[in-house]
């Protein structure tokens, strides 16, 4: 395969630091599997141990990266903001945040203040172990909401973050699933016409809740286009703490088993697909507009 035709896969695990059982699964998928990137939640009380875990894996020679999983829908904010929270001080649910965003009544100044606080917290934690913030995405794709997307991309560029997730999939990675097509059309309606932050493609919506996750990943790898593609995954272990906060539970363990399977590594090798993290794959011609890529 020529250099120009290389396919690079960035397997990114969302929800690092969400609850300990999820963090444990993500760290296993990095240490024993094909995950090379994770998105860190910094407002849930478990971020420090998660960062230490990634640092230990990096010290064993695995080139793992960590970005910010911006979160304004679960837990409590780092910066007090009554316009984003309920009377108890917890973030409003996703439905309420989305409704306000579409009605243009979401307090965008408060959103930006929280984003800056979370990004600063992520940078502080990662600085202690010598790692940069490699990307920004968000819990429940809230960074795609009207008004929020512009804030996230502007702040990311200001801080030299190499990548912001653009969660619009091509038909080739949707695996002909109607539910995935519907979700992708919704996301395309939100961000499809907005300028991309870089040229890294996205996939993963079609794999969520799949009972055949292992086989689906293999199909996806076989159909990857040339260039770099992010595969969004959610490995982890179920636990009472997770059950209290999130409905995505049993599928996390199914994803973990697949992502640590030696057979999946063999599939990648047979396809000639390279594993990477964000930052290390950023095109040099675009680096000046996004800050120097990590690892360059």
Catalytic residue chosen out of the listed positions 14, 15, 137, 238: 14
Segment holding 16, helix H or strand E: strand 7-16
* Burial of 129 (C-beta count, 10 Å sphere; 0-12/13-18/19+): middle
Tokens of 157: 């560029």
Q: C-alpha distances in angstroms, 199 versus 17, 57, 163, 285, 287?
A: 28, 28, 9, 11, 12
Region of 243 (left: φ > 0; alpha: ψ -120 to 50; beta: rest) is alpha
Distance, CA of 131 to CA of 161 (rounded, Å): 12
In the block, tokens 């990266």 appear at 65
Distance, CA of 13 to CA of 33 (rounded, Å): 12
Tokens of 87: 């009377």
Q: Which of 281, 242, 217 is nearest to 34 (CA)?
A: 217
Distance, CA of 37 to CA of 227 (rounded, Å): 17
Q: Known catalytic residue: 14?
A: yes
Q: C-alpha distances in angstroms, 251 versus 142, 233, 248?
A: 22, 10, 7
Q: Which residues are catalytic?
A: 14
């Amino acid at each position: 395969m020529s250099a120009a035709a290389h396919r690079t896969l960035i397997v990114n695990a969302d929800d690092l630091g969400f609850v300990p059982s999820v963090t444990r699964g993500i760290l296993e998928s990095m240490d024993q599997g094909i995950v090379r990137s994770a998105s860190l939640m910094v407002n849930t009380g478990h971020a420090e141990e998660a960062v230490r875990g990634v640092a230990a894996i990096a010290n064993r020679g695995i080139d793992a990266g960590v970005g910010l999983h911006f979160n304004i829908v679960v837990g409590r904010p780092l910066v007090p903001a009554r316009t984003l929270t309920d009377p108890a001080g917890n973030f409003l649910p996703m439905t309420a945040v989305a409704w306000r965003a579409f009605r243009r009544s979401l307090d965008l100044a408060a959103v930006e203040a929280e984003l800056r606080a979370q990004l600063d917290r992520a940078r502080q934690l990662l600085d202690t172990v010598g790692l940069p913030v490699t990307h920004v995405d968000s819990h429940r794709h809230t960074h795609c909401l009207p008004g929020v997307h512009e804030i996230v991309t502007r702040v990311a560029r200001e801080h030299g973050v190499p990548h912001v997730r653009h969660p619009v999939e091509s038909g080739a990675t949707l695996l002909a699933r109607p539910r995935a097509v519907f979700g992708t059309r919704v996301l395309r309606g939100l961000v499809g016409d907005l300028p991309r932050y870089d040229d890294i493609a996205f996939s993963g919506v079609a794999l969520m809740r799949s009972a055949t996750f292992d086989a689906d990943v293999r199909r996806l790898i076989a159909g990857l286009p040339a260039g770099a593609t992010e595969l969004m995954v959610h490995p982890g272990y179920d636990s009472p703490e997770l059950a209290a906060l999130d409905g995505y539970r049993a599928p996390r363990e199914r994803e973990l088993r697949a992502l640590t399977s030696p057979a999946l590594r063999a599939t990648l090798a047979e396809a000639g697909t390279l594993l990477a993290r964000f930052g290390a794959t950023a095109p040099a011609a675009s680096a000046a507009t996004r800050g120097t890529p990590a690892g360059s």
